Amino acid sequence: MAQGTRRLIWIAVSFLIVSTLTRIGLTVYSEGVFTFGEITRIMGIGTVFDLTVLPYFLLPWALYEAVLPGFVTRHPVFGRWEDLWAGIWGAAFLGLFITTSVSEFVFWTEFSTRFDFIAVDYLIYTHEVIRNIWQSYPVVQWLSAVLVVCLVTAWFSWPRSEAAGGTTRYNWPGRWLRVAVVGVTIPLGLVAVGQELAETESNAFVQQLSGNGFYAFGHAYQHNELDYQRYYPSHDGDALNVKIRDLVQEPNSLFTSPNGIKRTISARGPLQEVNVVLISVESLSASFLGHFGNQQNLTPELDTLADQGLLFTNLYATGTRTVRGLEALSVGTPPTPGQSIVRRPDNNNLENLGEELKDAGLQPYWIYGGYGFFDNMNAYFNANGYTVVDRSDLDAEGLPIHHETVWGVADEDLYSLALMTIDREYAKGNRFFTHVMTTSNHRPYTFPEGRIDLPQKHREGAVKYTDWAIGDFIRRSSEKPWFDNTLFIIVSDHTAKAAGKTDLPPSRYHIPMVWYAPGLIEPGTMDRLMSQIDVAPSLMGWMGMAYDSSFFGYDIFNLEDGRERAFISTYQKLGYLKGDRLVMLDVNKEPVVLDGLPASPTATAPSTVPPVGDQALTDEAIAWYQAASVYFSSGRLKEKDIAGEE
């Protein structure tokens, strides 16, 4: 048998042995009671997944053997060195298999599952995870043991060159045939095997044990979401329905069926036929504004607009990334654990702000200063009824670019693109809704020279340039014929320092929002606790719109006293703010109730509503987050309910 074939067999056998022992070990470790049929399924389906993954490890080695010059294996000196070199790599393959197996046992100890999005999530928080593992386990001893086992095993069993110094024929066709055979099995596996093969069994342990760690990790990376019902506390179906309906009910709403949250919202005032420009500002913490105590004069333009418009002083971002802010502002739903809806499959035709405003006669636009394939933003907004405009349109329009980074053009150039788009729509006689997303307040913090008095490459300079560009945009807009009938909403997508990797500090989610429309809005402040998911319903309520709603958010202008709340989250931790309490939901852990927000120094009057007890507060948190996850996954947030339950 050819040397290359023997080495491929060695890698394959090593992988299959380790995978099989891992599966047997996890089956025993789970302490589950399984029937003979379930054990047979675990081993049989598991082997199918192992064979599906195996070619990914074999292909690199088959290619190495195919391009290895023949004289190397025949030469008495080079042949021995190649044996040593190849043996080290064989030991490395075995080390990868064993280390992954050990990691699976560690992961199972904590989560009772094979790798999933939590494992993918750990790649994002590498520093914290490594420190936690280092402090929790004897890592040095484990790695030393794995190293010894792999080196000894490879020394005694790795296939060596039998023809070193001999004249064995170098079989080029045979080597490339191995590459072809292994290469073909990869797409065949992708077509023939899917995660659903493991999930056809109702027993959750059997599902998990029937899989393969490498395959499960790859699948989680592609689908990057956490199953709320598997990892977090839940209400049963009837209790959830009653609880969430009670939570979303508002004075001017009427449910359209006995189940779900679909309801008819009646107008609470005359319809205001205005235009709307919604600006999502990158990473703008409330702490940057003078109105919130900053003494660096970073936001003179925004502070002036806040004086002339309506300043929301107690608003909180739902998450730590732009896609979370976009999700909250567009579809008005609490953050689902794992990945944002913006990046998830089947996120088209959702009931969203643009669609509702389009029904009211406004043409919706998504305008972004970068290339919108990033984070799936263009695809998401396009699939939900918006006209998409991004960095590529600047070139098509021939607009000058004063500065750009990898994230996008300078904000002033983005606003030039927005003005051109708005002018064109206005010239057609149409009203418009434009959702504009900025990028300048992002590392590397560079911007056009001569705009502000702070240096490049510092966060403070980027904040002040971002502020300058907003003021410049408002000034340019004020010269337009559509200005007097336009509401400008300026709100952050998230804060600059969200932290929240291991906890949820509310102050790190505090963001500003200003509604500016001289002649339409009286200057003032809105001091009530508010979430990003409340922006869309509050806007539509202010506009005097009547509409059918699946939004979870409130019209803050029409909400009864004491019902204010906010949502803050990381990928995994879900926080619910109400009054001075914070409920935190975490994976496979009991809910925790912590101190939340201090009494607002700007509050006009203390609430007369008695505080909710901790258990009732926890039940509310569970209902909000569970319903958001279940309703999205079942299609009940779509414009027309596909689940047929409402």
Is residue 447 helix, strand or coil? coil
What is the per-residue pLDDT across 332-346, written as a single tens digit (0 to 9) for each?
Answer: 999 999 889 998 889
Number of domains in the chain: 2
* Dihedral, 567, 435, 431, 392 alpha carbons, nearest 10: -160
CATH code, 397: 3.40.720.10
- Tell me the β-bridge partners of 225: 338
Identify residue 406 by its one-letter amino acid code: V
Indicate if the pLDDT at residue 120 is higher than 80. Answer: no
2 or 603, greater pLDDT: 2
Is residue 299 domain-shared with residue 182, that is, in the same domain? no
Q: Are residues 190 and 286 in the same domain?
A: no
pLDDT at 126: 60
Tell which of 509, 530, 558 closes a domain: 558
Using the predicted structure, report yes or no on whether residue 594 has a pLDDT greater than 50. yes
Question: What distance in Å separates the CA atoms of residue 314 and residue 303, rounded to the nearest whole number?
Answer: 16
The answer to whether 178 and 26 are in contact (CB under 8 A) is no
Single out the residue of 609, 243, 274 nearest to residue 433, CA to CA.
274
Neighbours of 361 (CB within 10 A): 12
**pTM reported for the whole predicted model:** 0.75
Tell me whether residue 628 is in a domain.
Answer: no
pLDDT tens digit sequence for 253-308:
999 999 999 999 999 999 999 999 999 999 999 999 999 999 999 999 999 999 99
Rounded CA-CA distance 134/95 in Å is 19
**Nearest alpha-carbon partner for 490 in 281, 270, 236, 316:** 281
Using the predicted structure, report yes or no on whether residue 12 has a pLDDT greater than 90: yes
Say yes or no to pLDDT of 435 above 90: yes
- ∠ CA 521-414-520, nearest 5°, is 10
Out of 162, 195, 224, a domain closes at: 224
Q: Range with the lowest mean pLDDT among 200-204, 384-388, 563-567?
A: 200-204
| CB-based contacts of 322, cutoff 8 Å, min separation 6 | 280, 282, 375, 437, 493, 494
Kindly state whether residues 37 and 99 are assigned to the same domain: yes
108 and 211, same domain (yes or no): yes
Do residues 406 and 537 both lie within one domain? Answer: yes
* pLDDT band for position 235 (cuts 50, 70, 90): very high
The average pLDDT across 607-631 equals 87
Q: How confident is the model at residue 582 (pLDDT cuts 50, 70, 90)?
A: very high
* Token duo for residue 12: 């394959």
532 or 579, higher pLDDT: 532
Structural domain harbouring 429: 274-558
Report if residue 644 sits inside a domain: no
What span, in angstroms and rounded, lies between the C-alpha atoms of 55 and 18?
16
In this prediction, residue 503 carries a pLDDT of 64
pLDDT in tens, 466-491: 999 999 999 999 999 999 999 999 99
151 & 285 share domain = no
Which two tokens mark 296?
Answer: 């660096």
Task: Kindly state whether residues 181 and 315 are assigned to the same domain.
Answer: no
> Same structural domain for residues 182 and 313?
no
Tell whether 213 is covered by a domain: yes
Which tokens sit at 601?
Answer: 């120094």
Q: Which residues pair with 220 in a beta bridge?
A: none
Report the pLDDT value the prediction gives residue 122, as an integer from 0 to 100: 63
pLDDT per residue over 188-232, tens digit each?
A: 988 888 877 876 666 778 888 888 888 888 877 776 667 898 889
Is 45 contained in some domain?
yes
Q: Is 472 a domain residue?
A: yes
Same domain flag for 47 and 145: yes
Looking at 558, 592, 615, which one is the last position of a domain? 558
Q: Is residue 231 part of a domain?
A: no
Evaluate if residue 247 carries a pLDDT over 80. yes
d(C-alpha 200, C-alpha 211), whole Å: 12
Average pLDDT score, the chain = 89
Report which of 406, 407, 404, 405 is spatially closest to residue 416, judged by C-alpha positions. Answer: 404
353: in domain: yes
- Residue 343, SS3? helix
Q: How far apart are CA 621 and CA 627, in angstroms?
A: 10
- For strands 253-255 and 486-492, give the pairing: unpaired
Instruction: Say what the pLDDT of residue 543 is.
Output: 98
The confidence score (pLDDT) of residue 448 equals 97
Structure tokens at 107: 């992961």
Residues 62 and 178 in one domain: yes
- Residue 372, pLDDT > 60, answer yes
| Token pair of 52 as six digits | 């599906």
The DSSP-derived string for 288-338 is GSGGGT--S---HHHHHHHHHSEEEEEEE-S-SSHHHHHHHHHH--PPPSB
Task: Give the pLDDT confidence score for residue 166 in this predicted structure.
Answer: 44
pLDDT class for 528, splitting at 50, 70, 90? very high
d(CA 147, CA 463): 50
CA distance 111 to 113: 5
pLDDT of 199: 67
- Main-chain phi, psi angles of 227, to 5 degrees: -80, 105
Residues 287 and 209 in one domain: no
- Reported as a pLDDT band with limits 50, 70 and 90, residue 65 is confident
Which pLDDT band holds residue 600 (cuts at 50, 70, 90)?
A: low
- At residue 542, does pLDDT exceed 70? yes
Residue with tokens 């960095």: 391
Average pLDDT over residues 627-646: 77
Structural domain includes residue 189: yes
Task: Output 408 or 226, whichever has higher pLDDT.
Answer: 408
Amino acid at position 495, single letter: T
Please give the helix or strand (H or E) that residue 549 lies within, else none.
strand 547-549
Q: What is the pLDDT of residue 595?
A: 87
Please indicate, yes or no, whether residues 397 and 279 belong to a single structural domain of this protein.
yes
Close Cβ partners of 512 (under 8 Å, ≥ 6 residues apart): 284, 286, 288, 289, 291, 292, 302, 306, 311, 312, 315, 490, 491, 492
pLDDT recorded at residue 71? 65
